[in-house]
Structure 1
Amino acid sequence: MIDIDPNTNGLPGIDALQTIVGALMTVGLICAVLGVIISAIVWAFGANSSNPQLAGRGKTGVLVALGAAVLCGAAVAAVNFFWTVGQQV
């Protein structure tokens, strides 16, 4: 039976890579918040100007930005979940 786990200190620069990934997650979440704000403004402008296409694009933008935030926030949990499932196969 072979038992191999991830080695967090096997390569140089792992700590720096973890810092970079954390920074990218932060940037992704900031961009998602910006996307929600801009899309909400477009949605409101479209609704108030009786422009259903613009309002629809704003709604879609809000949903896409919220989905991106969910993916950024759940990325670590999802990878850990599938790692655990993969270890049981």
Structure 2
Amino acid sequence: MSAILPLAAVSFDPGVTPREGGLPGLNVLRDVMGSINLFAIIAVVGALALSALVWAWGHHSGGHQAEANGKKGVVVAAGAALVLGAANGIVAFFAALGERVQ
């Protein structure tokens, strides 16, 4: 038998909010995350170029499987570039949305 939690228990606010400057090294962590994001974007550019090359090679050589894999690679790399480029905005949007709900 499953118990249904009352609404008050589900919407309990522990009172924890993000605070800038709470820990030492926050600027270093931001720099590290920015660098990781940059390396990921550079890797995605390489993956996009390689996938486009496989797509073109598969199309011109009649390799339908290679062509399909190249197309999938281009779509996945483009999606990854979109998410990496928009990651900061996505997190900021949902963080602000969470603040408005309270």
TM-score, normalized by the shorter chain, greater than 0.5: yes
Which runs of structure 2 are paired with 1:1-89 in the superposition (5 Å)? 5-89=17-101
**For structure 1, which runs of at least 5 residues remain unmatched after alignment?**
none
**What SS does structure 2 have at the residue aligned with 1:8?**
coil
**What SS does structure 1 have at the residue aligned with 2:52?**
helix
Q: Give, in whole Å, the separation in 1 of the partners of 2:70 and 2:46.
A: 13
What is the Cα deviation at residue 5 of structure 1? 4.9
Return the letter of the residue paired with 1:12.
Answer: P
Q: CA RMSD for the aligned pairs?
A: 1.6
Q: If each structure's helix is expressed as a fraction of its own residues, which one has the higher value? A: 1
Number of aligned residue pairs: give it: 88
Bigger relative CO (Cα 8 Å, ≥ 6 apart): 1
Q: Give, in whole Å, the separation in 2 of the partners of 1:85 and 1:46.
A: 45
**What SS does structure 1 have at the residue aligned with 2:22?**
coil
Q: Give, in whole Å, the separation in 1 of the partners of 2:51 and 2:80.
A: 13
Q: Which has the larger Rg?
A: 2
Of all paired residues, the percent bearing the same amino acid is: 39
Q: Give, in whole Å, the separation in 1 of the partners of 2:62 and 2:54.
A: 12
What is the Cα deviation at residue 4 of structure 1? 6.5
Q: Give, in whole Å, the separation in 2 of the partners of 1:80 and 1:65.
A: 23
What is the Cα deviation at residue 7 of structure 1? 1.9
TM-score normalised by L of structure 1? 0.92
